[in-house]
Structure 1
Amino acid sequence: MNAKEWKSKGEFISINGKTIFVVDTRGSKEVLVILHGYPTSSFDYYKVLPYLSEKYRVIIHDHLGFGYSEKPLNYSYSLIEQADIAIQLWKFLKITQVTVLAHDYGTSIATEIIARHNQNQLSLNIKELILCNGSMHIELAKLRTIQKLLKNKYTGKLVAKIATQTIFNRNIKNIYFDSSKISKNELNDMWFLLEYNGGRKVIHLLSNYINERYFYWHRWIGALKDTSIFTKIVWPTHDPIAVKAIADQLHQEIPNNNLLWLKNSGHFPMLESPKEWSNLILN
């Protein structure tokens, strides 16, 4: 499947006055909502959707500023607002109980949602939380040089402007365990979705999420320490950014959790090891 075929699987829904791209497998099964990572999109899940949808009604949207969703130029792109959009979308779809699966950037949206859940601010029951490859413990993360440059308010805009697909491809390949597992077509699709609808003009704004992980550290890590929701931590052993130490730390802190290791996979396990990763998610 390519990015254009993925688009045909979804629909566009207006949430808080912004157009959001959503893939919804529908049906009457348990609901799995997915919060995708940075700087990619819901397309990351094209290989695993057939596996996940055997058990779940899967709902996955492109966050504002990503993929096929709207990419406004004058917008904060705060993770707080990304959480607002996710919650409003699920409400629009009349979802009342979910399993939340979050990867990378999406894990911080998830922790904001958990903070609200802990404070009884949601009309949504979260049955289970699944966390994958997220640098919530930002102090333990091994950020790439390009991430550091993009999150900086002085260098971010310039780096976004001069970034090329060659640089992008190299950075994505470097965070795979086995770079031969990603095809040229997949890289082309990822780049197409990043650039789609003026995406490069907002990538430096999206990158501020790293700064928010420091700013809201106590709120978000505190939410995980306080939650009563059963949490599954699914972590590749060879993620060079969200390193193993982060998963170990989460395993120590979250009251009711299960840590599952995925061997020989990197930062995008749903693309690199789709069957093995899906088995752990569905375990």
Structure 2
Amino acid sequence: MRPELDRWRARGSYFDHGGHRIFYRREGSGPALLLVHGYPFNSYDWHRIWCDLTAHYDVIAPDMLGMGFSDKPIRHRYSVFEHADMHEALLRHLGIEHTLLLAHDLGVSVTQEMLARRLEDPARSPAIDAVIFLNGGLFIEVYRPRLVQRILESPLGDVLGPLTPRPVAAAAVREMFGPGTKPTGDEMRLLLEVLFSGNGRFVNHRVGRFNAERKTYRERWGEPLVRNIVPMRLINGPVDPNSGAHMAARYRELVPGPDIVSLDNIGHWPQLEAPQAVFAAAHAFLRRHAP
């Protein structure tokens, strides 16, 4: 494994959740800040803003089941609900009673489920004090999955998913970035090494089938946003083909008093494409709402 990934993993820890080993990193001091990564990568997605965040916050960044350095069981039905269970269990494991959240992509849906649970039980612990969303499928009715996603989410995915060559995966990832912020060859090789490590080749398409849950639970996951149950900010890369400017427009329509920061010419991975701008926008918001 490449040295950058070896160092990232060496500085982390593991805890058991449902009989599976879950990798996480914890570093820094200050208010707790939970980072909820997206699909298909892992906590390494945060590496470009890691030092800035850990200078101000007690940062906790796990890898979800089926991704990164956590276990990747092959015969498993991956679920947003299970991912939410894991994040809550990790916070309890670490003795954290209050947290801020920064979420991206799949992590957006995981966070929405965590907020929905607090609508059902306002005293649920750990408490969530404020949330920042990066690009993700906040409102499934305007989410735009690409052809490759639709194929992998279909029964064909069970056949084609494990056969996906790295150049095809790289092309699918690259088109999600902004025109001037696409990853270099070395950067892409790092991302793909995380993606295909362990059983990655056999589970990536299974982990990626969360859009069906987004459709089924659209009202459940939309309600906490519409009701503004915690302070929220959306930091949006508008040229993201999945959830760019059109998702921000829907957010503006439905969320009362929407707080939106749009980053010009940035795509699906703002934290990788414009790390300084993301940190500045995130920190300015979070420090106002930290417990």
TM-score, scaled to structure 1: 0.95
Q: Which amino acid aligns with 1:135?
A: G
Structure-2 residue corresponding to 1:88? 89
C-alpha distance in 2, partners of 1:226/1:90? 25
Compared with structure 1, are the counterparts of its residues 205 and 274 closer, same or farther at alpha carbon in structure 2 (3 Å cutoff)?
A: same
**1:93-149 CA distances to partner (integer Å, 9 max, x unpaired)?**
111111111101110000000000111162122110111101122221221111111
Structure-2 residue corresponding to 1:232? 233
C-alpha distance in 2, partners of 1:9/1:185? 22
Secondary structure of 1:55 counterpart: coil
Q: How many residues align?
A: 281
Secondary structure of 2:221 counterpart: helix
Structure-1 residue corresponding to 2:288? none
Q: Does the CA-based 8 Å contact 1:118-1:227 persist in structure 2? A: no
Structure-1 residue corresponding to 2:128? 126
The answer on 1:98 being equivalent to 2:99 is yes
Q: Does the CA-based 8 Å contact 1:224-1:254 persist in structure 2? A: yes
Q: Does the CA-based 8 Å contact 1:140-1:243 persist in structure 2? A: no
Structure-1 residue corresponding to 2:251? 250
Secondary structure of 1:197 counterpart: coil
Q: Which amino acid aligns with 1:150?
A: L
Q: Which amino acid aligns with 2:128?
A: I
Structure-2 residue corresponding to 1:74? 75
Q: How does 1:47-196 map to 2 (within 5 A)?
A: 47-120=48-121, 122-152=124-154, 154-178=155-179, 181-196=182-197
CA RMSD of aligned residues (A): 1.5
Q: How far did 1:249 drift?
A: 1.7
Q: How does 1:259-270 map to 2 (within 5 A)?
A: 259-270=260-271
Secondary structure of 1:182 counterpart: coil
Structure-2 residue corresponding to 1:35? 36
C-alpha distance in 1, partners of 2:161/2:235? 31
The answer for unaligned runs of 5 or more in structure 2 is 285-291
Q: Which amino acid aligns with 2:126?
A: L
The share of aligned pairs that are identical, in percent, is 27
Q: How far did 1:256 drift?
A: 5.3
C-alpha distance in 1, partners of 2:16/2:158? 28
Q: Which amino acid aligns with 1:133?
A: N
C-alpha distance in 1, partners of 2:81/2:181? 36
Equivalent of residue 12 in structure 2, options 4, 10, 13: 10
Secondary structure of 2:161 counterpart: helix
Q: Does the CA-based 8 Å contact 2:181-2:273 persist in structure 1? A: no
**1:190-213 CA distances to partner (integer Å, 9 max, x unpaired)?**
111111111111112112101111
TM-score, scaled to structure 2: 0.92
Q: Does the CA-based 8 Å contact 2:152-2:161 persist in structure 1? A: yes
Compared with structure 1, are the counterparts of its residues 180 and 222 closer, same or farther at alpha carbon in structure 2 (3 Å cutoff)?
A: closer
Secondary structure of 2:259 counterpart: strand
C-alpha distance in 1, partners of 2:90/2:256? 29
C-alpha distance in 1, partners of 2:17/2:100? 21
Q: Which amino acid aligns with 2:42?
A: S
**1:44-96 CA distances to partner (integer Å, 9 max, x unpaired)?**
11111011112211111100000000011222111011100110011101111
Aligned structure 1 segments of 4 or more residues deviating by more than 4 angstroms: none
Q: How far did 1:26 drift?
A: 4.2
**1:147-202 CA distances to partner (integer Å, 9 max, x unpaired)?**
111111x1111221221110111111111113554122221121111111111111
Q: How far did 1:228 drift?
A: 2.0
Structure-2 residue corresponding to 1:280? 281
